[in-house]
Amino acid sequence: MPQNEYIERWQKLHGKRLDHDERLRKREAREGHKRSEQSQNLRGLRAKLMHEKRRVEKIQMKKRIKAHEERNVKAADNSDPSTPLPPYLLDRNDPQNAKALASSIKDKRNEKAARFSVPLPKVRGISEEEMFSVVKTGKKTHKKAWKRVITKPTFVGNDFTRSNPKVERFIRPMGLRQKTAHVSHPTLGVTLKLPILGVKKNPQDPMYTRLGVLTKGTVIEVNVSELGMTTAGGKVVWGRYAQITNNPENDGTVNALLLA
Amino acid sequence: MATVVPPPSKRQKRAELERSQLQQDVTLANEGPAGSFKAHFIDGDGKQMADVIEVPLKDASEKNLSLLLNTLMARDKEDFLPYRFRIHIPDSEIIVDEYPTDLVKLLRDHGIDNPFETTVTLSAEPQAVFKVQAVTRMSHKIPGHGEAILAAQFSPANSSRLATGSGDKTARIMDTDTGTPRFTLSGHTHWVLCVAWSPDGKRLATGSMDKTVRLWDPETGKPIGQPLTGHAKWVTNIAWEPYHLWKEAPRLASASKDGTVRVWNVVTGRSEHVLSGHKSSVSCVKWGGTGMIYTGSHDKAVRIWDADKGVLLHTLSAHAHWVNHLALSSDFALRTAYFDHEPVPDSEEGKRAKAKARFEKAVRVQGKVAERVVSASDDFTMYLWDPSSGTKPVARLHGHQKQVNHVTFSPDGLLIASAGWDNHTKIWSAKDGRFINTLRGHVAPVYQCAFSADSRLLVTGSKDTTLKVWSMATCKLAVDLPGHQDEVYAVDWSPDGTKVGSAGKDKAVRLWCN
């Protein structure tokens, strides 16, 4: 269990407070009033932050409403499917995207050369000074030490538990940790937010691979199980490799391209 | 230094050998439980086959019982039939499908304290006298089609011809002995959705997205006559008239998306009847051996028509969603007409008589001809119908968790296999629709399944790019056949059992053999 989930742990052990649901309901019911009061009364930087957040929320809301409206429209889809299908599949409008994806990947796999080529073959070198900053630790004179803080986004596995602070050498800040990546499929042009499973290779340094540092050009493994792809042997494909195409430390997100 | 024991003398060795052999003989004599039980053999209809006989428990293996039953029925050695036994547990409704290695333990497990001297009812199912071996390897990969292959069917005459219909607007006839394409049947102007061999193997009908049905001569690869036009939308399925009903000219029925079924005279190319009444696309058509046409449609109904008069006889409405597929208990017998493991009769009358006899043997239940129909539907269930006795379903077969796509009877008419979108294949008893087992293994929807000619094996083709062969005796996976690069749309087991043909989205036909 991740270290910061102490509330969940407590609730698993002892259960929720008896009035938990009631309090939650009331808090949610008050939410609108609270928002209204804040938007009227906040001043200065806090007002700026709040209204920026509100603006982003409104964009998301409008997008969602639009998506719902599009869903409700019944398209009169009488056109024949473009790919040949047996009679028993003809009148079914199942989403065929994931399959198109699987077969295009298979086509590509046939080209042996494609296996080792990655979209970003070269990366900018990152020096240790840029990667790490130093913190002093320890209070007693003889226990004083220094540690390195990683200044780049990292992927930390779900089962990570901090080691003893006395022996710990690297700090991966909580605020810079990433769990998901926006993975694009190059030929299909779809982008999905998929959970990261691990860092396969950071081209900078094997140590960065071990630490799970996410920089541009890093090859990560992502969970593609929801795409429903299968191998030639009929097994479900679970993890696939993808290469990071943006600078996660600048953007705050991880964008990646699925590898063949 | 330790003392080394001297090697045993010759006398000692001989004595040791003698003792060990003696011991072996003793264990041999004590093998198996003592005592006996009374065996009461019944056939599929519940009739007693032989007098109740006392059987020693230590000899009560399935093979021995089969031998005993054959002897009791006073058969000649040449006419011996292998039997499979289902055990009815005394004083309860439980029927055990699989014959155990230890009968005493099975009886004790079901609460029979004293298995000795009890009467155990054994229902005997005759098995095919020949045995089809499971296909284990790919013998040929035949490329050639330019697009996905949508349908495949073996010739009823032998396993050396396979017809395929493809999205590249052609059908092909493959020579499966050499693994080469034999003829390319081009003429359709859109995808070829279905192929159907006539029961005598001398004609091939193909139905297409271009709303026509075309007929071909499989010996020369030339078209026969003009295309049969008349449908307003694409042709979804084709059924030939059973061979023993052929009069001066054979006929065939084609189902279409436009909601009609047309009955064609293949010699004149004229449409004899238009069976209209379905309100939506007709997904499946079957021509029964008693001169009735069964159709299943997306308007949720199964309809039964008289093929000669072209009138509606019954409407079977029980389904709550599209009917996807129908199967008849006589499917195999009608498809192969007079072809079986015995020589083909010379005369036309002989062929007719043999086809009729095979049909009647396949559908005879308790002495009368009763063709059964099972319909698979999008409402996750199947219904088993006996149209000769009424429009009420015999049983509702529920258990699938998603739409059921394909259903088929075993050639001996004892089992039903159904495949669906829930990745499972389910096995049912064809007599009363009782659920028998689920075959789990595919990781994507199962599109089609086909029984081997001896009903002991089943092959399934799936979206997950594999074929799997299942043993019906144990309901377990017998062989897994990966090899396809993409979805498998069509799979067929040749009527003589030597080959399996499969084809799909990867544009190549694959042949599998033992």
Contacts of A88 in chain B (CB under 8 A): 283, 324-325, 405-406, 447
Which residue of B167, B325, B482 is in closest CB contact with A234? B482
CA of A83 to nearest chain B CA: how many angstroms apart?
A: 8
Here the tokens at position A1 are: 């269990």
List the beta bridge partners of residue A258: A242
Q: How far apart are CA B397 and CA B403, in angstroms?
A: 13
Residue of A nearest to B169 (CA): A84
**Residue B1: predicted pLDDT:** 57
Residue of B nearest to A101 (CA): B486
Which residue of A88, A228, A231 is in closest CB contact with B324? A88
ipTM for the predicted complex? 0.77
Closest by alpha carbon to B223, among B286, B173, B273? B173
Three-state SS for A8?
Answer: helix
0.90 surpassed by pTM: no
Q: How far apart are CA B287 and CA B289, in angstroms?
A: 7
CB neighbour list of residue B453: distance below 8 Å, 6 or more residues apart: B128, B130, B132, B332, B411, B493, B495, B496, B497
Query: If you average pLDDT over residues A17-42, what whole number do you get?
Result: 95
**Residue B469: predicted pLDDT:** 93
Q: What is the DSSP letter of B8?
A: P
**Residue A112: predicted pLDDT:** 46
**Residue A99: predicted pLDDT:** 45
Q: How confident is the model at residue B247 (pLDDT cuts 50, 70, 90)?
A: confident
Which residue of B237, B283, B464 is in closest CB contact with A234? B464
Which residue of B151, B442, B485 is in closest CB contact with A86? B151
**Residue B377: predicted pLDDT:** 92
A165 burial class (0-12, 13-18, 19+ CB within 10 angstroms)? exposed
Does A95 score more than 80 pLDDT? no
Here the tokens at position B90 are: 């005394």
More confident call, B210 vs B21: B210
Q: How far apart are CA B387 and CA B371, in angstroms?
A: 7
Average pLDDT, chain B: 88
Q: Is the CB of residue B140 less than 8 Å from the CB of residue B510?
A: yes
Q: How far apart are CA B184 and CA B161, in angstroms?
A: 13
Which residue of B147, B193, B444 is in closest CB contact with A86? B193
Give the A-side interface with B, CB within 8 Å: 80, 83-91, 99, 103, 106, 228, 230-236
pLDDT digits (tens, 9 = 90+) for B126-164: 888 788 888 888 899 998 898 899 999 999 988 899 999
pLDDT digits (tens, 9 = 90+) for A162-202: 888 888 889 999 999 999 999 988 876 788 899 999 999 99
Cβ <8 Å between B281 and A233:
no
CA of A235 to nearest chain B CA: how many angstroms apart?
A: 7
Query: If you average pLDDT over residues B230-251, what whole number do you get?
Result: 91
Q: What would the DSSP string read from start to end of A9-73? A: HHHHHH---TTHHHHHHHHHHHHHHHHHHHHHH--HHHHHHHHHHHHHHHHHHHHHHHHHHHHHS
More confident call, A60 vs A71: A60
Mutation to test the B interface, candidates A79, A80, A82, A88, most B Cβ within 10 Å: A88
Q: Is the CB of residue B397 less than 8 Å from the CB of residue B381?
A: yes
Query: If you average pLDDT over residues B337-346, what whole number do you get?
Result: 86
Closest by alpha carbon to A258, among A238, A243, A239? A243
Q: What would the DSSP string read from start to end of B137-155? A: EEEEEE---SS-EEEEEE-
CA of A221 to nearest chain B CA: how many angstroms apart?
A: 22
Q: How far is CA A207 from CA A73, A170, A210, A241, in A?
A: 53, 11, 5, 19
pLDDT digits (tens, 9 = 90+) for B22-75: 766 655 555 666 778 888 888 877 788 888 888 888 778 888 888 888 888 888
More confident call, A187 vs B200: B200
CB neighbour list of residue A132: distance below 8 Å, 6 or more residues apart: A148, A149, A150, A151, A170
List the beta bridge partners of residue B406: B419
Cβ <8 Å between B462 and A232:
no
Give the B-side interface with A, CB within 8 Å: 147-148, 150-151, 166-168, 191, 193-194, 209, 234, 236-237, 257, 281, 283, 298, 324-325, 405-406, 442-444, 447, 462-466, 480, 482-487, 489-490, 505
CA of B308 to nearest chain A CA: how many angstroms apart?
A: 27
Percent of chain A surpassing pLDDT 70: 82
Residue of B nearest to A94 (CA): B421
Q: How far apart are CA B378 and CA B363, in angstroms?
A: 27
Contacts of B375 in chain A (CB under 8 A): none
Mutation to test the A interface, candidates B141, B170, B188, B236, most A Cβ within 10 Å: B236
Which residue of B209, B325, B485 is in closest CB contact with A232? B485
**Residue A19: predicted pLDDT:** 95
Strands, E assignment, B399-456: 404-409, 415-420, 425-429, 435-439, 446-451
**Residue B132: predicted pLDDT:** 83
- SS3 for B184-203, per residue? EEECCCCCEEEEEECCCCCC
Does B461 score more than 90 pLDDT? yes
Does A42 score more than 90 pLDDT? yes
Contacts of A108 in chain B (CB under 8 A): none
Q: Is the CB of residue B8 less than 8 Å from the CB of residue B16?
A: yes
Cβ <8 Å between A228 and B444:
yes
Cβ <8 Å between B405 and A83:
no
Cβ <8 Å between A85 and B148:
yes
pLDDT digits (tens, 9 = 90+) for B395-424: 999 999 999 999 999 998 889 999 999 999
List the beta bridge partners of residue B509: B142, B503
Cβ <8 Å between A80 and B167:
no
**Residue A70: predicted pLDDT:** 73
> Which helix (H) or strand (E) is A240 found in, with range?
strand A239-244
Cβ <8 Å between B209 and A80:
yes
Closest by alpha carbon to A258, among A97, A123, A109, A105? A105
**Residue B23: predicted pLDDT:** 66
Contacts of B209 in chain A (CB under 8 A): 80
Mutation to test the B interface, candidates A80, A83, A90, most B Cβ within 10 Å: A90
Residue of B nearest to A233 (CA): B482
Query: If you average pLDDT over residues B234-248, what whole number do you get?
Result: 91
The region of weakest confidence among A101-110, A221-230, B252-261, B473-482 is A101-110
Cα-to-chain-centroid distance, residue A248: 11
CA–CA–CA angle B202, B207, B210 (5° rounding): 140
CB neighbour list of residue A133: distance below 8 Å, 6 or more residues apart: A148, A149, A151
Query: If you average pLDDT over residues B307-334, what whole number do you get?
Result: 91
